[in-house]
Amino acid sequence: LTSTDGCGAPLFLISLIGIARIVHAATVSKDPVHQSVIAAARAVPEMVGGFGRHNTEMMQQVPGLFMKDGAEAVNVTSLSDGRAFAIKISDGSQRAFRTIVHACLAEFGIDSPFTPEKVMGGPRVIGTIRATI
């Protein structure tokens, strides 16, 4: 099944497991073309997500990490050893991305710099956004 997004770009139906498998396969592939794509993304992460973006910062800070976010709050992440995951925020909001990605990396035993996002109640901090995995 295919469709188009609001900009007219094609959209293809694929499951989160399918997305994670694709990135896993590219990450561990011995094919020089696949290797060059992943290596280029890791070498110049600004070209993957842009300057100041979460996935760019993460690829700069976590060795061997590949991360790409997409429209409608989809994210795929892989490590150099092939471990990979894909997430989708149901409501399309990107607010919880950092929290979920860092929680998933923690499940893999990967330390990453992360400060939980504060939840404000007027001028006061009343909590933080937390992920339950």
pLDDT tier for residue 1 given thresholds of 50, 70 and 90: confident
Whether the pLDDT of residue 18 is over 80: the answer is yes
Q: What integer pLDDT is reported at residue 124 of this predicted model?
A: 96
Q: Which of 30, 112, 29 is nearest to 67 (CA)?
A: 112
pLDDT at site 11: 80
Instruction: For residue range 20-60, list pLDDT tens digits in order.
Output: 999 999 999 999 999 999 999 999 999 998 898 888 999 99
Task: Please report the pLDDT score of residue 76 as a whole number.
Answer: 95
Whether residue 6 is predicted with pLDDT greater than 90 in this model: the reply is: no
pTM: 0.82
- Per the model's pLDDT, the better-predicted residue between 132 and 17 turns out to be 17
Strand ranges (E), the chain: 2-4, 10-12, 66-70, 74-78, 84-88, 118-121, 124-128
What is the C-alpha to C-alpha distance for residues 73 and 99, in angstroms, rounded to an integer? 13
Domain spans, the chain: 15-128
User: Does residue 103 surpass a pLDDT of 80?
Assistant: yes
